[in-house]
């Protein structure tokens, strides 16, 4: 269906090719997962499939890309539109119309299909993607997961034979990402479409992939093969695979179920070993205290009588479903939302918001850092030094919006960290981060806690919590329903348990790293 013959792509002005000597053959009906860190050439590979590279991006494509027998050199993207459907990261930036039905029909209209066919296909697609209840709704009022489902639907209506998705969940919050990935899984199983998917959230998709293509980056040759084989060699892998590696299982398990069935012996071996406690090595003085905090919007009470203390050296994870009051609590702590009653006492505090670009205004990274120094009356170069420590090698003349998600988060973090606040708050910091960036974030936050800062992060990312948190607070309806050490709170919870905990239960292991250290 898709065939790459010795394909190299070099962008204009680039010294090295973005992808080099790619030979790839994707037969019909296969789900291929493309993995690799940011900048490894995933997007280039995906965009070559429908000719956006190089027709839209410019640059030189050496070799040949054939899709359904059509050569992309002679067929520009518009002539491949009936074969390849392409879905990008941010659904909102791709929408053309205002409501769900119109958006679904737009692609067909562009291809000049008769109205009767369009009507029929819109109905089919609404049912297929579970959008029937939303048919007349304005796109702007949908949740981000629903928006991405509409974006997928709008390319499905043209009945493409290949669906290409470039990190369809990286601009979404974790719950919306789940929503999209489960939809995708249904599509693959029910329709047997050929799907090429780039995705960071491997733990959710790797079990459905027929094949994995790993781009190591730096123009190294790509690795492709059976998921379990490829994942045995990659530096990035879902926790359950890492556990399999630590335990030396072969082939590697791809799902919690696989691993659970194989882990009896491992659990026996570790029965006498005490898992690490995941508590802060040294607790300092309190940096934030909330007492009977009540806050809300209009008549709605969002935070309902929260009492909590955060100490120096602690990393507190704030968990709970959307709307449970996590963000509002953070806003109260940082002082941008006024509580209705109760008391908040905090020292110097900084918040990295959910969309890091919200606190980045300048036209270049260097400007952003200089402005940050000036506004906080810091010695010139403080912020830029902080940024270089967190993410070395980002050119200063880059526009903040042109950075990768991870780099942008790091820049926002640098701006917040430069004045050395006693308490750092992060709202959903891992959205759109690849494993590398996440690992670096874990390192940075652990370092901060060790240096005596208090850290609070609101997140849905259970694996991050497992790795990082020394304390977990679960909010529901604005009230604290659980507050304790990470193993105490998450191990028994079906919603918040990390993959490794699910495999090892009832033993209280949280990460593959812990298991590896114990073996």
Partner 1 sequence: MSTTSHVVRVSWSAAAALVVASVVTLAAFGWPFFATPTGLGEGASHSTDAPWIFVLVLPLLAAIVLAEVNAGGLDAKAVALLGMLAAVGGALRALSPGAAGLEPSFAVIMLGGRVFGRGFGFVQGALTLFVGALLTGGVGPWLPFQMIAAGWVGFLSGCLPRRLTGWPEVVVLSGLGFVLGLAYGALMNLWFWPFGAYGAGLSYDATAGPATNLESYARYYLATSLAWDLSRGVCTLLLVLLVGRPLLRALRRVSRLAAFEVPVRFEAPELERQETV
Site for partner 1 in 77-116 (CB under 8 A): 78
- Residues that bind partner 1 (rule: CB under 8 A) add up to a total of 23
Shortest gap between Cβ of 74 and partner 1 (angstroms)?
Answer: 9
CB atoms inside a 10 Å sphere around CB 63: 17
By CB under 8 A, residue 59 contacts partner 1? yes
Contact (CB, 8 A) for 208 and 185: yes
Contact pick of 55, 311, 331, 471 for partner 1 (by CB under 8 A): 55
Find the part of the chain contacting partner 1 (CB under 8 A) among 4-12, 305-313, 314-322, 461-469: 4-12
DSSP three-state, residue 3: strand
Measured in residues, the chain has a length of 519
Nearest-angstrom CA–CA distance, 397 and 260: 49
Nearest-angstrom CA–CA distance, 314 and 330: 16
Q: How far lies 384's CA from each of 369, 372, 405, 444, 506, in Å? A: 5, 9, 18, 16, 46
Contact (CB, 8 A) for 332 and 293: yes
Q: Which of 315, 323, 324 is nearest to 426 (CA)?
A: 315
Q: Which of 438, 436, 434 is nearest to 426 (CA)?
A: 438
By CB under 8 A, residue 39 contacts partner 1? no
Shortest gap between Cβ of 67 and partner 1 (angstroms)?
Answer: 11
Contact pick of 348, 376, 399, 450 for partner 1 (by CB under 8 A): 399
Contact pick of 16, 27, 28, 64 for partner 1 (by CB under 8 A): 64
Dihedral sign from CA coordinates of 309, 452, 514, 235: positive
Site string for partner 1, 345-384 (x = CB under 8 A): ------------------x---------------------
Joined together, the tokens standing for residue 173 give 């919050």
Shortest gap between Cβ of 20 and partner 1 (angstroms)?
Answer: 11
Q: Which of 262, 319, 354 is nearest to 469 (CA)?
A: 319
Estimate to the nearest angstrom the gap between the alpha carbon of 370 and the chain centroid: 29
By CB under 8 A, residue 63 contacts partner 1? yes
Shortest gap between Cβ of 84 and partner 1 (angstroms)?
Answer: 16
Shortest gap between Cβ of 6 and partner 1 (angstroms)?
Answer: 4
DSSP three-state, residue 487: helix
Shortest gap between Cβ of 56 and partner 1 (angstroms)?
Answer: 7
Shortest gap between Cβ of 52 and partner 1 (angstroms)?
Answer: 11
Contact pick of 27, 60, 235, 381 for partner 1 (by CB under 8 A): 60
Cis peptide leading into residue 2 (ω within 30°): no
Identify which of residues 2 and 206 has a Cβ nearer to partner 1 in the complex. 2
By CB under 8 A, residue 73 contacts partner 1? yes
Contact (CB, 8 A) for 480 and 306: yes
> Helix 115-128 and helix 144-156: axis angle, to 10°?
140
Identify which of residues 39 and 63 has a Cβ nearer to partner 1 in the complex. 63
Identify which of residues 78 and 380 has a Cβ nearer to partner 1 in the complex. 78
Shortest gap between Cβ of 389 and partner 1 (angstroms)?
Answer: 27
By CB under 8 A, residue 12 contacts partner 1? yes
> Helix 405-417 and helix 365-375: axis angle, to 10°?
20
Shortest gap between Cβ of 112 and partner 1 (angstroms)?
Answer: 17
Identify which of residues 371 and 479 has a Cβ nearer to partner 1 in the complex. 371
Identify which of residues 59 and 296 has a Cβ nearer to partner 1 in the complex. 59
Question: Which residues make up the interface to partner 1 (CB under 8 A)?
Answer: 3, 5-6, 11-12, 54-64, 66, 69, 73, 78, 363, 399, 402
């Amino acid at each position: 269906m898709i065939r790459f013959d010795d394909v190299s792509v070099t962008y204009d002005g680039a010294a090295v090719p973005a992808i080099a000597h790619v030979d790839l053959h994707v037969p019909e009906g296969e789900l291929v997962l493309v993995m690799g860190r940011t900048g490894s050439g995933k997007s280039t590979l995906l965009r070559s499939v429908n000719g956006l590279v190089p027709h839209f991006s410019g640059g030189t494509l050496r070799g040949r890309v054939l899709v359904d027998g059509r050569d992309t050199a002679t067929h520009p993207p518009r002539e491949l539109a009936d074969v390849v459907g392409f879905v990008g990261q941010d659904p909102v930036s791709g929408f053309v119309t205002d409501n769900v039905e119109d958006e679904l029909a737009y692609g067909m209209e562009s291809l000049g299909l008769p109205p009767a066919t369009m009507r029929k296909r819109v109905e089919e697609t609404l049912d297929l993607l579970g959008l029937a209840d939303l048919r007349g709704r304005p796109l702007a009022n949908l949740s981000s997961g629903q928006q991405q489902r509409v974006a997928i639907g709008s390319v499905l209506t043209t009945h493409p034979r290949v669906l290409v998705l470039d990190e369809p969940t990286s601009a979404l919050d974790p719950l919306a990402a789940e929503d999209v990935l489960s939809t995708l899984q249904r599509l693959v199983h029910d329709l047997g479409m050929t799907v090429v998917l780039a995705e960071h959230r491997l733990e959710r998709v790797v079990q459905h992939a027929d094949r994995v293509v790993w781009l190591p980056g730096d123009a190294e040759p790509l690795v492709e093969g059976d998921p379990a084989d490829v994942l045995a060699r990659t530096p990035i892998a879902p926790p359950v695979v890492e556990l399999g590696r630590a335990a030396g299982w072969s082939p590697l398990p791809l799902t919690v179920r696989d691993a659970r069935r194989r882990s009896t012996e491992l659990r026996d071996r570790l029965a006498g070993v005490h898992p690490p406690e995941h508590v802060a090595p040294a607790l300092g003085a309190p940096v934030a205290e909330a007492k009977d905090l009540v806050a809300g919007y209009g008549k709605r009470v969002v935070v309902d009588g929260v009492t909590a203390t955060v100490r120096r050296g602690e990393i507190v994870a704030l968990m709970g479903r959307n709307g449970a009051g996590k963000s509002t609590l953070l806003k109260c702590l940082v002082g941008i939302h006024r509580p209705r009653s109760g008391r908040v006492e905090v020292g110097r505090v900084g918040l990295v918001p959910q969309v890091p670009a919200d606190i980045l205004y300048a036209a270049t990274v260097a400007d952003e850092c200089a402005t940050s120094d000036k506004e906080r009356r810091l010695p010139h170069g403080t912020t830029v030094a902080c940024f270089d420590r967190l993410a070395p090698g980002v050119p200063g003349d880059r526009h903040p919006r042109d950075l990768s998600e991870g780099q942008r988060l790091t820049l926002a973090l640098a701006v917040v960290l430069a004045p050395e606040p006693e308490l750092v708050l992060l709202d959903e910091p891992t959205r759109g981060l690849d494993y590398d960036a996440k690992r670096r974030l874990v390192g940075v936050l652990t370092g901060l806690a060790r240096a005596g800062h208090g850290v609070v992060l609101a997140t849905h990312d259970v694996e991050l919590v497992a790795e990082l948190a020394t304390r977990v607070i679960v909010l529901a309806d604005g009230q604290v329903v659980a507050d304790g050490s990470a193993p105490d709170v998450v191990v028994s919870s079906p919603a918040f348990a990390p993959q490794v905990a699910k495999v090892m239960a009832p033993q209280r292991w949280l990460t593959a790293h812990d298991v590896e250290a114990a073996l």
